[in-house]
Amino acid sequence: MNRKTLVGIVLVLLTIYECCSALKISLYYETLCPDSQRFVKQQLHQAYQLFADQISVELIPFGNVDEYKDQNGVLKYHCQHGIEECRVMCLYGLLVEEFMSRNTEKAAQECADEHLPGQWPVIKQCIDTDKGRDIYRLMARKTKELYPSPTYVPWVTIDDKFDKESMALVESNLINFVCLKANPRPIECPNSGATHYLQQNQETVPSSAFEA
């Protein structure tokens, strides 16, 4: 997936979190994991296009990141998909934090800068300074506090709870899941309209768990 497209989708999804909606969808993911990217584009973004007023979205970019201390006692992170993923997750973490504080203009500018020549210092500063490490600690804490602990990504909770029985439908057809669980039931759902929309606008994501 084109990274610029994915970042744009993430920006759109972040705007949802501010509203008070019936169903809270929290996504714990890795930014460069193909399965995480696929879920964002094919499931989460599609569901938002139909149900912006019925769902809220929380994004936690961390996933299977190893925390360790170097010989100087400084906390370090090893990302599953390499240093580039750490850099991208730092950027996404900045976006999440800025949007949660409603400083959307600053967040959008930081996102745009990442895709323009000469803007590497913005990303490098995030990685090399306390701000970047603080963001990692926050995302790490949110991920490690989950119960049960994630065993793969993307990992999704609904209203802050993980329901193993629901995950196959969440992963393969989030639109239908929202139709089943949202209260009140979205007007887009009757007469299989939502299912038809899903089938016409995306390929189906396998219902099996995405292994990290």
CA–CA separation, 6 and 17 (whole Å): 17
Tell me the CA distances in angstroms from 165 to 85, 86, 157, 171, 175, one per residue in order.
31, 32, 12, 11, 16
Average pLDDT over residues 26-47: 91
CA–CA separation, 80 and 187 (whole Å): 41
- Say whether pLDDT at 24 is over 80: yes
Set out the domains of the chain in order of their start, with CATH numbers. Answer: 3-201 (3.40.30)
Q: Nearest-CA neighbor of 126 among 140, 143, 112, 114?
A: 114
How confident is residue 64, by pLDDT bands cut at 50, 70 and 90? confident
- Predicted confidence at residue 190, as pLDDT, reads 67
- Predicted confidence at residue 161, as pLDDT, reads 95
DSSP character at residue 162: -
Share of the chain above pLDDT 70, in %: 60
Share of the chain above pLDDT 90, in %: 26
pLDDT tens-digit map of 165-192: 899 999 999 999 999 999 888 888 866 5
CA–CA separation, 190 and 179 (whole Å): 9
pLDDT tens-digit map of 76-134: 777 888 777 777 777 677 666 655 554 544 554 565 565 544 555 655 666 566 777 78
The dihedral of CA 144, 155, 191, 13: what is its sign? positive
- Asked if residues 155 and 28 have their Cβ atoms less than 8 Å apart, the reply is yes
CA–CA separation, 34 and 38 (whole Å): 6
| Average pLDDT over all residues of the chain | 74
- Say whether pLDDT at 206 is over 50: no
- Predicted confidence at residue 103, as pLDDT, reads 52
- Predicted confidence at residue 96, as pLDDT, reads 67
